Structure formats: structure tokens, C-alpha cells
Structure 1
């Protein structure tokens, strides 16, 4: 873990310290994704099935979740089933109580302008599978969509090696009221959701994380004419921890490793004004790493990790705002003053006992969050992600009479005579 002193760095060095690891621009990957997307768009089910056989080893199937969910209930320990149920309850409660409210303003007497919210009709949810099927991601996507009132949810996930559906994903789907899941992964699944393929319907928006092929496919389909909306830019996971001298070094190290084990491209940073804590965390990382099953992945991540010394906690927050992390941990005695100063983060974990792991699984908020600095302008998944707002104006005859002439004047200032005449006609029948 590289150690840096923020006070001794110039602007260029600070920018380099907070730069994400460079990811090679892979023209071959982009070309491969474009070829798959265009093929599925043109060829529908047959093209989807051909790519799935080549890449997933099996054709996509619509798998009713009842059977594999029952298997999960038979085989998983009771404590695991209870934990999934707890996660479901917390996530549903958070999002059901976070729905946007309609509001209205009478901007002029007789002119009422309202903002009302409506759910998206049909959404596609991509759930990562393969070696680590992320059933938690399905909960984090589908429950906010349910809270929003989405009419139809189409869920896809890569098949297991035997071509089937992972029982834990099936159980999560059952908890979300989803009757079936399609076993399809990669860019071909994204293309099927975007444009339809066989019985897989075209969706209005695609949400969910995935590998580089999935991320590229989502970006591509969203840019094509008639393509769907997508949730947010996607990249490797990241965690920035701000810690004071009272933080437990073993806990801080464990939090850093919890992100480091995701992917060799993940990024972890520790920002602290306490040099002794920095030394203790470095020692704890070295002690904990060898015992991890995914230690090789975590070790690769730690090679690019940074430990940044700052003069005080206020400076630490400014570092965090510059970096705009997906996850921000405030491992400090009094997080409230710092939280008020945080502007850019996907999710914040406030206090010694708060844990990014809680947020990943069962605190209630979604773990699908903006990465690569996108937290400067993007939010994580919520019920809002599955809704859209529209405005409604209601105009009384008296208000129309007052508004017509100034509206027409503004239209003529822009040279739009038809607009002006449409306003003028609202005076029809009015006294001159």
C-alpha cells in the first residue's frame, strides 16, 4: 500500500494520487461487443442463442424460480434463510418509505403546475453470475423497482455450468415476486433486453452491474436510436476510508480487504491524520491477507492502494470529495460534522460500527452505486431509478387571458410565430 503525504504534494501529484487505475482502452472488446449487439438486434432469438451457446455454454432458458428456490430452502441453513429474509425486509422498507411525493404550485392565480411521478413500464435487471452469483444484487435492484410500482421486471443472469439457475438467485427472485429468470449473460443478454429476442421482451431501462463486456454493451445500447435508458456508468468497485486515531486498525484493514477481494481492478484508499493508525492498518493488512480465500485478488488490489496522510479530518473530507468514491467509510468518533461536509459519495458508512458489508447486504439502501468518480453527479439505485416525473399544467380561463399576450410576445422574440399564434388564440372570445 503506497504511503503519501498530502501536505507535501503539489496539484499534479495530488491528482495522480486520486486517479483511478488506468484501464486499457480495448478496441477489440468494443468491436466484439458491437458485433454481438448488432447481431442480436438483427437476428433476435437465433442470434442470441448462438452467442449464448458459444459464450455461456448453453442456450438461454426461462427458468421458473419455484423449483430452485425450494431447493435453496431445503439446502441452506436456517440462519442463511433468515439473513436473506432480513435483507429483503430492510431493503423493501427503506425503498417503500423513500418514494417521491407529487407537488403542485400555483405560479399565478388560476395557473397550477404539478409534478407527478409514474413508474417505468418494463425494466431489465442484470444479475452477475458465474463463479460468484450475486443474489444480493437481485434484491438490491428488484425491491426498489417493486417499490416504484414497475409493471414488469425481466431478470437475466448467466447460467450455472450445468445451464441451470443458481438456487440462491431463485430464492431472491421469489422474495421479490419474480416468477421466472432468464439464464442469459454477457453482452448478448444486454442486447436481448434492449431490443427483444424471442420471448425476452424489449425493456425501457436496463439496470445492474456486470463485467467489462456488460458495461460496454449497456453504454452502447443506450446510445443507439430507440435504445433503452441505463442506470449509471459502471466500473470496478472502490472504497475510501477516513479514520481517526480512535479507529480499530484491524476493523479498518478488514473493511479495505472487503473491497480489495472484489476484483484486481478494485481500488481502496485510507485517508487519516494519524500516522500511528496508518502504521497499524498496514500491519493489520499484512496479517489478515494470507488467510483470505481470495488473497491473490486482494493482493493485486493492494498493490495499487494508497494510504494518504492529511493534517486533519477536514482535509480528509476534501480528499474524499475530490475522489468521489463509490463507498465512503467515516471511521471516526464523531462522524456528524464530517458528514455535513461530504458532497461526493455513492454511499457513506458513518461511525466505527457502520460497515460497508452491512450496506452491501442488508442495511436497506441499494449497493448498486456510481463508480469512477461518477458520484459527483450520479446517485445509486433507488425507487427514483425506476420512475420518471412529468409536469401537468391546469389553466383557468382568467389565467389564460392573462398569460396569452406575454407568452406570445416571448415566442415572437424567438421568431416562432406559430407558437405566438397558438397563445393568441387563447384570447378567442375575450373582450379586447
Structure 2
């Protein structure tokens, strides 16, 4: 059994350098070799299009197909090939996600900034978007929902769902119920290249959404720099930080940490608390619950990255949490809602012992596509507005232009913009 007692740290006896090390993420092997390999894949797709995609599908997924697109007939037939139990669960998740995200739709904004001067925001959907749904050992149906629902609510006209082959009937069923009929059986870096650059048969998109492995992540970063296609957010391995008090349930905490640890070998889980006995009890529970999990190889590996940190006060826990900027933050503390004021950086917050992280992954209605690897200090969870763009509109009456003309002249001439000033003078003379 894995010994994680060596991962216990007492914050106030650590040096500054040791504290930085304790809060460091697992090293991701996005080394020069991976960057070069992804660059070659993107370049090959750019030069050889479909031929390169067929070659990579065979090399990486052992999959051969005539067309990268799934037929509408096969998508429609998926409803006959999934269980009622699955359909019922998807129905509840879809309803909750749709309910929360539909409230995010913004109305046009108009402000009279000066008498006769009007500034307006109008919202328009991004015309074409690519939704990347990773596969792993099982189809990630929850990610398909989390990406597709806000894209539909935003009003995106051309939605391409892309996933490594062979695509499961469960993923196709989600595409069917959300009326997404452009489904690409492509995965990995070459699929991102196809979405960004286009090929003979694959149409390029304006923005790519969705998580993936290191190759997908690297490909998203590279195409965002070499094409007109943008991406949703930088991504890294999944992570969770738990803050616990003396009354917290160690079994609940352990189960949350284990559920997060099974995402990938590079996942990281952190426990912050004020008493040593809490850490000891949680570690005992982890060891106990591990015995009940059949496939624990990923968990055992990622637990090597775990941290159990004892500090002096709950307020200090929040300072450390803000420094770390976790993707998932769970508050296993009494009256947890009262502590929201101390949170500055987090992807998604889970309040109290009855709100497990797993619920947020699937069914609460909040989006589970979140900033990782410290990006929660500047990025937000995925939302409807990510699938939209804001266009500003301005209008002036002639009286307003006359009133502001001298100020415009002063500022434009100060910047040496004589033609700017002339555009005002021409109108004033006309008046």
C-alpha cells in the first residue's frame, strides 16, 4: 500500500523555498520533444490534409474510415443502442446544466454616456466552434454535455463535436438530443490541427473548446498562435484542494480526494487543515477506501503528488488556497458559505460536506470545464459568454458632436492625429 505520510507538511515551519515547492504542480512533460512532435503533426496536416489525418487515425487509434464524419443515420440510431438508465441520467444532467446556463444569457446593454451620445453592447454567437471531447478508457459523456449545452444556448450556428474513434453510442446520443449533426471521429493533436486549419473535407472553426491530454493541450496552444482560431483556456491536469475543520468527516474528505485523484496520473489533491489528527484520520480513510476501488493504478500514481498541510488557522488556509488557485475547492467546514468572502482564486467551489466534487462533474448544473494549473487566478469556468462575442455600437446626435468637438480636437492634435481632427472639423463646418 502506498505510504503518503511523507506528504504531510507543517506550513509554519517551512522555509519560503519549501513552501513554493510544496505548492508546486506535478511536472508536466511538455518538453521540447513533445512541442516538436506536435509542431510536425500540425505542419503535416497543413500540408497533406485528409491524407495526414487518415495516417494519424491509423497510427494513434488503430482506426480506418472512409469519412471522418459520422452519418446522421448513425447518430439518430444511437438512441436505440443506449440504456434507459443512461437516458434518464442524461435527462436530469441536461436539465440542470441547461437551467443554470440559460440564466447566463445576457441582454444587450445601452448607456447614454453624455447627452446625445449612446454606447451599446450587442451579443453575437461565434459562428463556428469545435468541441473536443476526450476519450481515455471510457467515453466522457459529461464533457460532451458541458461543452454542447452552452454552445447551443449561445446560438452558435456551426458546431462540430470531435472525439477520438471509435466514438461511443453514448456520445452520439448526446449529439442527437442536442441536435449536433457534425461529428468528427478524430482525436489527438491532429484533430486540433484539422479544426484550426481545415482540410479537403474538414471545415475549420473559429474557436476550439474542451480538455485533452498533453498533446491536445500543446496543439491547442500552438494553433492559437499560428492560425485565426482561438481556444477556450490553457489546460493542465485536474486538481482539488480541500479545506477542513475539526468537525469535518474524514471519510467524506478521503472520498473526495480519491475521486479527484483518479482523473489522471498527473492529477493533484491537497488537504489544508488546522489539526494534525484530521490529516491522520483522512489518510487512514484513504488507505481503507482504496481497498474498495478495483482499478486503482491511476490513483496510486497521482497520490504521490498529494499534499497534506497543517496550518495555524482557517484564514491561513484560504491564503494558501488563493496562492495555489485550485481548479476545485471543497470547503469541509461548518457554515462554509460564510467563508466565500475569503476566496479570490478558484475554478469552482463546493460548499459543505454534502456537496462532493463528483456531483459537480456530472449533475449540479455548473460547468466542469475549469481553469487548471494555477490559471484560476485569471480564468473562469466555461460559460455561455465564452461562445459569444461582444460588438460595441456607438451613436452621436449632431448636437452632441458639436458639444464635444473641441475636446476631440484637443486630444487628437495632442497625439498628432491631424486627420482625426479633420474628420471632426469637416462635420462642424457642414453644420
State TM-score, norm by structure 2.
Answer: 0.95
8 A contact 1:65–1:170 mirrored in 2: no
Distance (Å, rounded) in 2 between the aligned partners of 1:426 and 1:134: 60
> What is the CA distance between 1:24 and its match in structure 2?
3.2
Matched with 1:117 is 123
Name 1:281's counterpart in structure 2. 282
1:67 is displaced (CA, Å) by 3.3
Do 2:239 and 2:327's aligned partners in 1 also have CA atoms closer than 8 Å? yes
Q: Counterparts of 1:150 and 1:137 in 2: how far apart (Å)?
A: 18
Q: For 2:85, which of 76, 79, 84 is the aligned residue?
A: 79
Q: How high is the TM-score relative to the length of structure 1? A: 0.95
Distance, in Å, in 2 between the alignment partners of 1:245 and 1:222 is 47
- The correspondence for 2:220, drawn from 218, 221, 245, is 218
Per-residue deviation, 1:198: 2.5
Q: CA separation in 2, counterparts of 1:374 and 1:70?
A: 40
Out of 178, 182, 194, the position equivalent to 1:192 is 194
> Per-residue CA shift, 1:378-430, capped at 9, x if unaligned?
01111011011121111000001112221122111111212221222231323
Does structure 1 residue 37 correspond to structure 2 residue 42? Answer: yes
Per-residue CA shift, 1:195-240, capped at 9, x if unaligned?
A: 112232110000001111100100000001x330100001100000
The answer to whether 1:47 aligns with 2:52 is yes
Match of residue 348 from structure 2: 347
Q: Which runs of 5+ in 1 are unaligned?
A: none
Q: Does 27-36 or 4-13 show the bigger shift?
A: 4-13
The within-5 A match list for 1:203-242 is 203-224=205-226, 226-242=227-243
Partner residue of 1:20 out of 25, 28, 34: 25
Instruction: Give the match's secondary structure for 1:197.
Output: coil
- Say whether residues 1:101 and 2:98 are aligned partners: no
1:19-418 equivalences in 2 (<5 Å): 19-57=24-62, 58-59=64-65, 61-64=68-71, 67=74, 70-71=77-78, 73-76=80-83, 78-160=84-166, 165-224=167-226, 226-418=227-419
**Which stretch has the larger CA shift, 252-261 or 196-205?**
196-205
- Other structure's SS at 1:62 match: coil
- Distance in 2, matches of 1:227 and 1:29, equals 23
| Counterparts of 2:118 and 2:288, CA distance in 1 | 64
Q: 1 CA distance for matches of 2:80 and 2:101?
A: 26
The answer as to whether partners of 1:66 and 1:170 remain within 8 angstroms in 2 is no
Distance 1:195 1:207 in 2: 15
Structure 1 residue ranges (4+ consecutive) displaced by more than 6 angstroms after TM superposition: none
Distance 1:107 1:350 in 2: 40
Offset of 1:174 from its aligned partner?
1.6
SS of the residue aligned with 2:430? coil
Corresponding pairs, count: 424
Looking at structure 1, the residues matched to 31 and 79 of structure 2 have their Cα atoms a distance apart, in angstroms, of 39
Unaligned residue ranges in structure 2 (runs of 5+)? none
Equivalent residues of 1:148, 1:387 under 8 A apart? yes
The change in CA–CA distance for 1:262 and 1:404 in structure 2 (over 3 A counts) is same
Q: Does the Cα contact within 8 Å between 1:65 and 1:171 map onto a contact in 2? A: no
Moved more, 200-209 or 272-281: 272-281
- Is the 1:68–1:166 Cα contact (8 Å) retained in structure 2? no
CA contact (8 A) 2:82 2:170 kept: no
Measured after TM superposition, the shift of residue 183 of structure 1 is 0.5
**1:68: how far off?**
5.5
2: distance between equivalents of 1:46 and 1:419? 52
Q: 2: distance between equivalents of 1:186 and 1:369? A: 20
Residues 326-384 of structure 1: CA distance to partner in whole angstroms, max 9, x if unpaired? 10001111112211211100101011101111110011111111001000000111101
- Which shifted more, 174-183 or 51-60? 51-60
Are the structure 2 counterparts of residues 71 and 109 from structure 1 closer, same or farther at C-alpha, using a change threshold of 3 Å?
closer
CA contact (8 A) 2:75 2:175 kept: no
Tell me by how many angstroms 1:32 deviates: 1.1
